[in-house]
Amino acid sequence: MSTPLILLILAIIAVVCYVVGTRHALAIAGGLSSKLHSRPGYYGSFVAICAVLPAAIVLAAWLIASPLYINSTIRGGFPEDVKAKSEAEQGLAFGMVNSLARGMDILTLDEIDKVGANPAELRSALGAKGVALAGDPEPYMVESAGDLNAMNKISNRVMTAVVLIVALIGAGLSYTRISHRFRARNRVERVILGALVVASSIAIITTIGIVMSMLTEAGHFFGRVPAWEFFFGTVWDPRFAAAGAAASEGQFGLIPLLLGTLYIGFVAMLVAVPVGLFSAIYMSEYASPKLRSVAKPLLEVLAGIPTIVYGFFALTTVGPFLRDLSSSINGIATGDFANFIQAQSVLTAGFVMGIMLIPYVSSLSDDIITAVPRALRDGSLGLGATKSETIKKVVMPAALPGVVGALLMTASRAIGETMIVVLAAGVAARMQLNPFEPMTTVTVKIVSQLTGDLEFTSPQTLVAFALGITLFVITLCLNIYALFIVRKYREQYE
Amino acid sequence: MNMLSEAAVEKALDKKMNEVAYKMIGKDVSVYYGEKRALFDVNLNVRENTVTALIGPSGCGKSTFLRTLNRMNDTIEGCRVTGKITLDEDDIYDKEIDVVELRARVGMVFQKPNPFPKSIYENIAYGPRIHGLARNKADMDQIVEASLQRAGLWAEVKDRLHEGGTGLSGGQQQRLCIARAVAVSPEVILMDEPCSALDPIATAKVEELIHELRANYTIVIVTHSMQQAARVSQRTAMFHLGQLVEENDTDKMFTNPDDQRTQDYIMGRFG
């Protein structure tokens, strides 16, 4: 029986158990649910959970364990000369066996008998059924494929039987436990609690998994390139990953990329912070409620625009505009119409990224400024301070720690931003301070090292993981520090 | 000219006859919050160097009236005030009057202590600084010390003037707020239930302070506590449902009020 079918049967069992359990509980209570410890539905749920949960766990365990066992048995049955070959070639052979097994399942017995002896014919017969093989199968492979199919069939039958028996036993045992005083609610709620815990752990466990995998890959990279050359190298020149040409490994200096990231982030903050802060002050202190109720959601919508759109905007509009502007200015000043701002430059990328960040700065700061208690404003106004004095001398100082936290969070976004810089900053890894020239960032290089046909064993691709983990650590530190500041600030008033 | 002098003469006569000087005069004061009317034609005069207590059940409009006296209602969206309120002859709702100047003359202490998240010194110096009351640092030190002395807080905080004002106890914070209000040398101090967030000992200290401040300032205090009104005030005004029910000497108010509703409220029959 196929797995979806088993799941469907389990679902039906659950529904039946629920109905039967509920009815039985009510019958025991003589129709008065007040005589029961829990509501009748809980008894039904209890029976359903007892039936399905252990069965589902058995099913999952079987689905994981049985292929592992079968595969190792099949590979153990390979001829000695195959076993002597390298791990990769054994894997290849096993892949063939797998495809063969899948194909032989589709062929009828007659067809197998007809072509079984001739590998080439078998291959073409399978090809006609849509199962492509990498090469002509060898006789031992056909044999193993037959074994594989047989074992799979047995395993599936046993699994179906075991799962259904477990479900029925669970249902039966729990059904007999239903009585007046049985605490079904407590048990059902414990299961629900467990489900909630599992759900919330998934995100955390996934994060840990991602970090671990990045760490291992970065570890492989540092096995090939010394860490100090990566962290303190000033030249980024990875070369191409030519297969087998170990001598052509390039130089992987992080410094030019980090410098570009920080420089572009700095320009972006230079644009976003003043504009965003002023807009936050206007929104929280001066705007009428009507205007605020319209303008604030609008600003937040701006934060939802995909960054690729901003990148496109930078590439097609802002960059060419700045280039043409610079050439005009140069022409008027010196008579030479050469542009001194490149279309792809730190300025273009930083400016557009700044525009992207304005809603973040504004929205976060607005929340923080609004959270400053009204009593403080009243206190200041009651002393005869004007509104602007109150904002400058009481509200902003009180909100400052929170605002700084918000700015740090924004900065970590600027550092991790990818699409805008990919399109607008350029790809030249250079160390220079002219904002009109292109520079590149860590994120851009991660993208460029990982696009195209790759083998994941060369330092040229592995370096992306080292870059990724570096970026991750930087933004993580910024975010933690920002959260720390914001939380500390919250405590002052609550 | 003629009219003015006539008014002056009348006022002088009035003063002589009653021996009463009015600091603030409210005439037909009504307040609206949007469509809702919160005060109905209140006529209430505040006597100079006197503590006037405003009492009444919750939502009766006593705090609203208090806040009209220094136009703190201006900060509330959709609030409208009609009628006339004068401070020493000046109509405080006149277009010519600067609300900043008015609030420097009519200070306010709030229900919950609200020191700024700055040092004790900076809390006091805030008002004098924005109004330019000190010529130099020595002047400012002088003002800070005098204000804290007036508020009876000097002895407790003189060694930690530069520590945070929010680190003080609730009662100390409220006295700090009173010192802060005193520092700009107002003529009138408005207090909106200044003791409602304080324990009995801190309350006693603040009440004592109000008693002493009376010599130099005109004080209007909103309170929920009948005992407090009786202890600290000379005049009491009773509000109910947005109307002024009765205004009288405190002694008379608590022994033999003119209005039955006042009697009922003081006896605890409603409110």
In three-state secondary structure terms, B238 is: strand
pLDDT (0 to 100) of residue A338: 81
Q: Inspect the interface and report whether the beta carbons of B103 and A384 lie closer than 8 Å.
A: yes
Phi, then psi, of B188 in degrees rounded to 5 = -125, 140
Q: Which residues in chain A have Cβ-Cβ distances shorter than 8 Å to B75?
A: 377-378, 381
Residue B1 has pLDDT above 50, yes or no: no
CA distance A424 to A319: 7
Q: Which residues in chain B have Cβ-Cβ distances shorter than 8 Å to A380?
A: 116, 126
Shortest alpha-carbon distance between residue B71 and chain A (Å): 9
Residue B210 lies in a domain: yes
Optimal mutation site among B69, B75, B99, B147, interface A, most CBs of chain A within 10 A: B75
CB atoms within 10 A of CB B112: 18
Residue numbers of the domain that contains B27? 20-112+187-265
pLDDT in tens, B157-207: 989 999 888 888 888 999 999 999 999 989 999 999 898 888 888 888 889
- H or E segment and range at residue A471: helix A459-491
Residue B6 lies in a domain: no
Q: Which residues in chain A have Cβ-Cβ distances shorter than 8 Å to B185?
A: none
What is the residue whose two structure tokens read 């006539």?
B6
Optimal mutation site among B71, B105, B109, B130, interface A, most CBs of chain A within 10 A: B130
Q: Inspect the interface and report whether the beta carbons of B130 and A397 lie closer than 8 Å.
A: no
Phi, then psi, of B58 in degrees rounded to 5 = -60, 140
Does the predicted model carry a pTM greater than 0.80? no
Domain A236-492: CATH architecture, name and number where available: Orthogonal Bundle (1.10)
pLDDT in tens, B9-32: 666 555 555 567 889 999 999 999
> Looking at residue B24, which CATH number applies to its domain?
3.40.50.300
Shortest alpha-carbon distance between residue B235 and chain A (Å): 24
pLDDT in tens, A188-232: 999 999 999 999 999 999 999 999 999 998 998 888 888 888 888
Shortest alpha-carbon distance between residue B12 and chain A (Å): 32
Residue B90 lies in a domain: yes
Query: Which part of chain A has CATH 1.10.3720.10?
Result: 236-492
B112 in contact with A, Cβ within 8 Å: yes
Residue B92 lies in a domain: yes
Question: Among the listed ranges A47-61, A126-140, B110-124, B192-206, which one has the minimum average pLDDT value?
Answer: A126-140
Residue B9 lies in a domain: no
ipTM field: 0.82
Contact B23, B15 (CB under 8 A): no
Shortest alpha-carbon distance between residue B64 and chain A (Å): 14
Optimal mutation site among A383, A392, A403, interface B, most CBs of chain B within 10 A: A383
Average pLDDT over residues A471-478: 91
Residue B218 lies in a domain: yes
Question: Among the listed ranges A201-205, A298-302, A473-477, B216-220, which one has the minimum average pLDDT value?
Answer: A298-302
Q: Which residues in chain A have Cβ-Cβ distances shorter than 8 Å to B117?
A: 376, 397-398, 492
Q: Inspect the interface and report whether the beta carbons of B107 and A382 lie closer than 8 Å.
A: yes
pLDDT in tens, B213-260: 898 899 999 998 888 999 999 999 999 988 999 998 999 988 888 888
Q: Inspect the interface and report whether the beta carbons of A373 and B114 lie closer than 8 Å.
A: yes
Residue B34 lies in a domain: yes
CA distance A382 to B103: 6
Give the pLDDT band (50/70/90) at residue A114.
low
B32 in contact with A, Cβ within 8 Å: no
CB pairs < 8 Å spanning A and B = 71
Shortest alpha-carbon distance between residue A403 and chain B (Å): 15
Stated length of chain B: 271
Residue B76 lies in a domain: yes
Q: Inspect the interface and report whether the beta carbons of A398 and B117 lie closer than 8 Å.
A: yes
Shortest alpha-carbon distance between residue B3 and chain A (Å): 33
Contact B261, B238 (CB under 8 A): yes
Residue A10 has pLDDT above 90, yes or no: yes
In three-state secondary structure terms, A316 is: helix
Helices A396-416 and A459-491 cross at an angle (nearest 10°) of 170
CA distance A384 to B185: 12
Q: Which of A288, A378, A393 sits opposite B114 (nearest CB)?
A: A378
Give the pLDDT band (50/70/90) at residue A494.
very low
Residue B74 has pLDDT above 90, yes or no: no
- Tokens linked to A403: 């605002």
- H or E segment and range at residue B44: strand B36-47
Q: Inspect the interface and report whether the beta carbons of A383 and B166 lie closer than 8 Å.
A: no
Structural domain count, chain B: 1
Q: Which residues in chain A have Cβ-Cβ distances shorter than 8 Å to B103?
A: 381-384
Nearest-by-CA chain B residue for A290? B77
Q: Which of A373, A376, A381 sits opposite B103 (nearest CB)?
A: A381
Residue A375 has pLDDT above 50, yes or no: yes
